[in-house]
Amino acid sequence: MTPGQPFILGINYWPRKKSVFWWEQFDAAEVREEFAMIRDIGITHVRFFLLWESFQPTPRSVSPTAMKHLRTVCDIASELGLKLQPTFFTGHMSGPNWTPPWLVDKQTPRKKDERQLCSLQNWKGYPSSIFNTYDEPFVIEAEDLLLKTVCSALKDHPAIWGYSLGNEPDLFCKPATADIGRRWVRDRVATIREADPNHLALIGVHTASIDSDCGLRVDHIAGETDVSVMHGYSIYHPLARHALDPDYVPFVCALTAALAGRPVLFEEFGINTHWPNKPSFWQEITNHDGTTRKVFFASEEDAATYYAGVLKRLVKVGAIGAFCWCFPDYDKSIWDRPPCDFQPFERFFGLWRPDGSLKPMGQAVKDFIATRPRVQAPEKVVKLPVTADEYYRNPWEIQKKLYAEFGEIAP
> Is 2 part of any domain?
no
Please give the pLDDT value at position 111: 84
Q: What band does 39 get if pLDDT is binned at 50, 70 and 90? A: very high
Any residues with CB less than 8 A from the CB of 295 and at least 6 apart, and which? 235, 282, 283, 284, 285, 344, 345
Q: In terms of pLDDT, which residue wins out, 171 or 410?
A: 171
Please give the pLDDT value at position 380: 96
**From CA 411, how far away is CA 407, in angstroms rounded?**
13
**From CA 87, how far away is CA 386, in angstroms rounded?**
33
> Is 53 part of any domain?
yes
**From CA 376, how far away is CA 4, in angstroms rounded?**
6
Return the number of other C-beta atoms located less than 10 Å from residue 356's C-beta. Answer: 11
Compute CA distances 254 → 29, 319, 332, whole Å: 40, 8, 38
Angle at 33 between CA 30 and CA 39, to 5 degrees: 135
Q: What band does 275 get if pLDDT is binned at 50, 70 and 90? A: confident
HEC sequence for the chain: CCCCCECEEEEECCCCCCHHHCCCCCCHHHHHHHHHHHHHCCCCEEEEEEEHHHHCCECCECCHHHHHHHHHHHHHHHHHCCEEEEEEEECECCCCEECCHHHEEEEEECCCCCCCEECCCCCCCCCEEECCCCCCHHHHHHHHHHHHHHHHHHCCCCCECEEEEEECHHHCCCCCCHHHHHHHHHHHHHHHHHHCCCCEEEEECECHHHHCCCCCCHHHHHCCCCCEEEECCCCCCCCCCCCCCCCHHHHHHHHHHHHHCCCEEEEEECCCCCCCCCCCEEEEEECCCCCEEEEEECCHHHHHHHHHHHHHHHHHCCCCEEEECCCECCCHHHCCCCCCCCCHHHHHCCCECCCCCECHHHHHHHHHHHCCCECCCCCCCCCCCCCHHHHCCCHHHHHHHHHHHHCCCCC
Where residue 346 sits, what CATH number does that domain have? 3.20.20.80
> Is 411 part of any domain?
no
Q: What band does 50 get if pLDDT is binned at 50, 70 and 90? A: very high
Please give the pLDDT value at position 287: 85
The answer to whether the beta carbons of residues 362 and 351 sit under 8 Å apart is yes
Please give the pLDDT value at position 109: 92
Please give the pLDDT value at position 3: 86
| pLDDT tens figures, 156-171 | 999 999 999 999 999 9
| pLDDT tens figures, 107-150 | 999 888 889 999 999 998 899 999 999 999 999 999 999 999 99
Q: Which domain holds residue 361?
A: 8-406
| pLDDT tens figures, 390-399 | 999 999 999 9
| pLDDT tens figures, 66-114 | 999 999 999 999 999 999 999 999 999 999 999 999 999 999 998 888 8
- Phi then psi dihedrals of residue 140, to 5 deg: -60, -45
Give the closest residue to 52 by CA, choosing from 113, 1, 112, 103: 103
> Is 232 part of any domain?
yes
**From CA 191, how far away is CA 206, in angstroms rounded?**
23
> Is 135 part of any domain?
yes
CA dihedral 294, 300, 305, 311 (to 10 degrees): 80
Give the closest residue to 370 by CA, choosing from 311, 411, 303: 311
Is the pTM of the predicted complex or chain greater than 0.85? yes
| pLDDT tens figures, 277-320 | 789 999 999 988 889 999 999 999 999 999 999 999 999 999 99
| pLDDT tens figures, 347-373 | 999 999 999 999 999 999 999 999 999
Domain count, the chain: 1
Report, as an integer, the average pLDDT of 196-225. Answer: 97
Give the closest residue to 234 by CA, choosing from 220, 222, 249, 223: 249
Q: What does pLDDT average to over the chain?
A: 96
Please give the pLDDT value at position 172: 95
Please give the pLDDT value at position 410: 86
Please give the pLDDT value at position 285: 92
Q: What band does 1 get if pLDDT is binned at 50, 70 and 90? A: low
Return the number of other C-beta atoms located less than 10 Å from residue 153's C-beta. Answer: 16
> Is 95 part of any domain?
yes
